[in-house]
Amino acid sequence: MASTAGKVIRCKAAVAWEAGKPLVIEEVEVAPPQANEVRVKILFTSLCHTDVYFWEAKGQNPLFPRIYGHEAGGIVESVGECVTDLKPGDHVLPVFTGECKECAHCKSEESNMCSLLRINTDRGVMLNDGKSRFSINGKPIYHFVGTSTFSEYTVIHVGCLAKINPLAPLDKVCVLSCGISTGFGATVNVAKPPKGSSVAVFGLGAVGLAAAEGARSAGASRIIGVDLNSARFEEAKKFGVNEFVNPKDHKKPVQEVIAEMTDGGVDRSVECTGNIDAMISAFECVHDGWGVAVLVGVPHKDAVFKTHPMNVLNERTLKGTFFGNYKPRSDLPSVVEKYMNKELELEKFITHSIPFSEINKAFDYMLKGESLRCIIRMEE
């Protein structure tokens, strides 16, 4: 690999030229990493709903042409100046939010919201010089959340890379770099359901099922899945969900349905859709006195959360989380070890696998609601 260090690499990338249009496999030029940057050879990537959301650009600011992708596993090809804790050949997971290890957030045990490297969906360039490392015929192609893994090579800030056990299979643990860690961590790190408690999970996509898995591993006895698509209920049983509610089946608000089912409300709820009505329902369905609701989903940019203040005064707690409150560099390696020690199953989240040349199929699967995670193999 070292023969490419310091040189521009030409490789294939899937470029989104405009909102909602199929990605195009193009030859791109990937510049060498600058200070505090690392160039990574991506081996496996997967499609997360957040990629689709920003590709559609319906509720967010459009920025094109762009290389999406943020859930992946790869190997360090070369490092820029000042990079000391990674070297060529290291196995890494890129993460959409980072850990500089120096700001107040990184030094706090309670936060993973790094001041320097927290997610910025509008920025399409590198922090170091405000420029892209991708180009086609001299024309810059924008980055996405600092990762852009739909490319055979990508350049990422060192603070957004978790160095992991080289024995971990990258085609499995790549899903830990976003969705599965986000959902699992939202439950175990933030909601913290007591043993024997009840948990409602809103949205039974990959993140919601990971939240359910977290509830099961924490020892929750009732895990109620809430989704508008009843076809997801059967699959959800594999992840510990043992009761189901489809809001469309009821004439009253779903929070009232859940309150009736649980004698006043669930102990914990985790919202994984980004839909503002689901967020309000998730908060209002927890029991007064001790209920905790955790918001995970990314809302529309114009969304507003409305609830009566008495819902808070009656001792319900509303929390938010990013990436399941995991610090990427410090915590993600141990989540990978959970998989290696068979404490966390990842295979059941992976429903499809396709070659890079067929990446648009992954979008089709997700838009039709047919996939949880589709692994995209970069080397065909």
Q: Are the C-beta atoms of 74 and 95 separated by less than 8 Å?
A: no
Q: Which helix (H) or strand (E) holds 295?
A: strand 292-295
The DSSP 8-state label assigned to residue 66 in this structure reads B
Tokens coding 197: 């408690």
**Among all residues, which ones are annotated catalytic?**
48-50, 70-71, 100, 103, 106, 114, 118, 178, 373
SS3 23: coil
SS3 44: strand
- The full 3-state SS of 150-211, as one line of letters, equals CECEEEEEHHHEEECCCCCCHHHHHHHHCHHHHHHHHHHHHHCCCCCCEEEEECCCHHHHHH
Nearest to 72 by CA among 49, 45, 98: 45
Q: Are strands 91-94 and 9-15 parallel, antiparallel or unpaired?
A: unpaired
Cβ contacts of 51 within 8 Å, gap of 6 or more? 68, 69, 70, 144
188 vs 117, 226, 245, 335, CA distance in Å? Answer: 24, 19, 23, 12
* Residue 61: count of CB within 10 angstroms of its CB: 9
Cβ contacts of 362 within 8 Å, gap of 6 or more? 46, 47, 352, 354, 371, 374, 376
